[in-house]
Amino acid sequence: MLFNSLTFLFLHFLFLPLYWSTKNQTVRLYVLLLSSVIFYGWYYWPGLFLLFAAMCINYLLSLLISKKQAKWTIALAVLLNLLNLGWFKYSIFIIANIESLINNMGFQLIIPKPDYWLPIGISFYTFQIMGYLIDVYRKEVPAEKSFLRFAVFKSFYAQLIAGPIVRSHELFPQLRKTAVFNLTRFQKGFFLMTAGLAIKICIADLLAQFVEYGFSNAGKIETLRAWLTLYSFSFQILSDFWGYSTVAVGIGLMYGISLPHNFNFPYTAQSSQDFWRRWHITLSEWFRDYLYIPLGGNKNRKYLNLILTMTIAGVWHGAGWNFLLWGFGHGIWLAIERVTQSHKIRNNSPLMRRIRIIVVFNIVSLLWIFFRAPDLNTAALFFKNLFAPPYVFNAPHIESLLLTLIIFILFNKKLGNLFYADHFSRLSLKRQLFVTIFLILFIMGYADARLDFIYFVF
């Protein structure tokens, strides 16, 4: 079910009073589980079998890890989860590449490919549960005894499909204690949900049309349009994912559950390292704690560790050489920064700060080409559009694109500030009303396309 659908809003506002109508935490957890099952199953109900199977197996594995504390237990747990992820997400890609390699060697081979669907959110919930299992193994958290609580941890619909990837020590304590209804948190949750939807519907979905045109006509578009398409995608993917994460945090707060924010103005980053501390924060932290540091972190082979971690992060996003290259590119950039020590900011004058922001934004945007292009050929054509002659700086229909970009920049700065801490609660009543009404009117006016969230497929 999409957050930007009427069905979702209807069910959400149906389950909320049910949840708060009781003070019995077990009943509340059942309400959360039921709502999550409906939410997930609505999209493709057979996916529930896989989710339930993963739930049961991981629950048993967590108890086993807690009891045995042996390396093989955690190795088995990680392997099973990776196999599940690998089978559903990467098997076709791997088979197609093996087939192509063998055929290129002169042999004729057709390997039958499995016919199945890609379970939505599989990368997110697999990583969340792997993090939990590793934490149990490291004795950082105790294994959860209650299956109901474990099931809600794995399936809470606010963050099940596209994050944020919540750590066990953040969510389990909140699921254990009976939350008291807090009007301030509820109001903030409502506001965040509204604002997140507005960002998705009014910015991401509008920019999506321009981006789609630009990339589906790669190689044919004008230079100016190519650059504007590139920047549009940078803002589209931010608005899409930021919007989703903000809705998720809002939903959580409406249930009295705090979820971590996933973004912190990433396009104001002054270095690659800074960017990854602001973009998809929960995923970056996951990779840092469960992959980069175990690989040796900054102590051994740090450049190689950086490149390897980022390449795997790239592949996590999708099965394709373009995602691998995207991650590899970020890894190389991080490594270069470390070698040149350019991630350490020495001159912090406003001018230098702005220059760094512009440079970082442009590198990030150029790397997004690999992320957005359906294949490497399209990516190459798009790069050609950007840098190769003829340079054409006139393109029809660009006025409205420029307008949308300007609206985004204003939206981003003014609205984004209200998401954090208690900035919204501290506004005067008039301003709170003005902002919320403005956002709801925007949503009503523009809620047409109901496009999927980009991160649903990861």
Partner 1 sequence: MRKRDKQKIIFYFLGLALFFLSLEGFFRIFPDIFSNLTERVKLKSAMYMRRKPTPILFYGSSRFKDGISPKVITKRLENTTTQQYESFNAAITGTDIYRLEWFVKRVVENKNLKIFILEISPPMFVEGDHGFENKNQDTESVEDFLSERLKENFSIVEWRKSLKINILIRSAALLGANYFEGSELFRRGAVSDFFKSDKIKMTENIKISWTPQIIKARTNNDAVVSKETKLYQDISKIMQKNRIKLFFVIPPLTIKKQNEECNKSEIEKYKNIANATGVNIFNFGCLDLEEKYFIDDSHLSHLGRHYFSEILAIKIAESIL
In the complex, which residues of this chain contact partner 1 (CB under 8 A)?
Answer: 5-7, 10, 182-184, 186-187, 396-397, 399, 407, 425, 429, 432-433, 436-437, 440-442, 444-448, 450
| Set 12, 169, 280, 317: catalytic member | 317
Would you tell me how many other CB atoms lie within 10 Å of the CB of residue 50?
16
Toward partner 1, which CB reaches closer, 10 or 393? Answer: 10
CA-wise closest residue to 272 among 348, 346, 367, 349: 367
Q: How far is the CB of 42 from partner 1 (least distance, A)?
A: 9
Residue 452 is given by DSSP the state P
CA–CA distances in Å: residue 128 to residues 123, 198, 233, 376: 9, 27, 27, 30
**Shortest distance, CB of residue 123 to partner 1, whole angstroms?**
26
Question: Is 16:254 a contact under the CB 8 Å cutoff?
Answer: yes
Q: Which is nearer to partner 1, 185 or 372 (CB)?
A: 185
By beta-carbon proximity to partner 1, the closer residue of 363 and 427 is 427
Nearest residue to 252 (alpha-carbon basis) of 157, 176, 374: 157
Cβ neighbourhood burial of 406 (10 Å; 0-12, 13-18, 19+): exposed
Task: Tell me the closest approach of the beta carbon of residue 352 to partner 1, in angstroms.
Answer: 36
In whole angstroms, how close is the CB of 121 to partner 1 at the nearest point? 20
169 is catalytic: no
Nearest approach, Cβ of residue 441 and partner 1 (Å)? 5
Residue-wise DSSP of 63-115: HHHHHH--HHHHHHHHHHHHHHHHHHHHHHHHHHHHHHHHHHTT----PPPP-
Instruction: Extract the tokens encoding 271.
Output: 């270095």
In the bound state with partner 1, the residue whose beta carbon lies nearer, of 97 and 425, is 425
Residue whose CB is less far from partner 1, 13 or 387: 13
If 0-12 CB within 10 Å is exposed, 13-18 middle and 19+ buried, where does residue 451 land? middle
CA angle 244, 248, 251 (to 5 degrees): 135
Mind telling me the catalytic residues?
Answer: 317
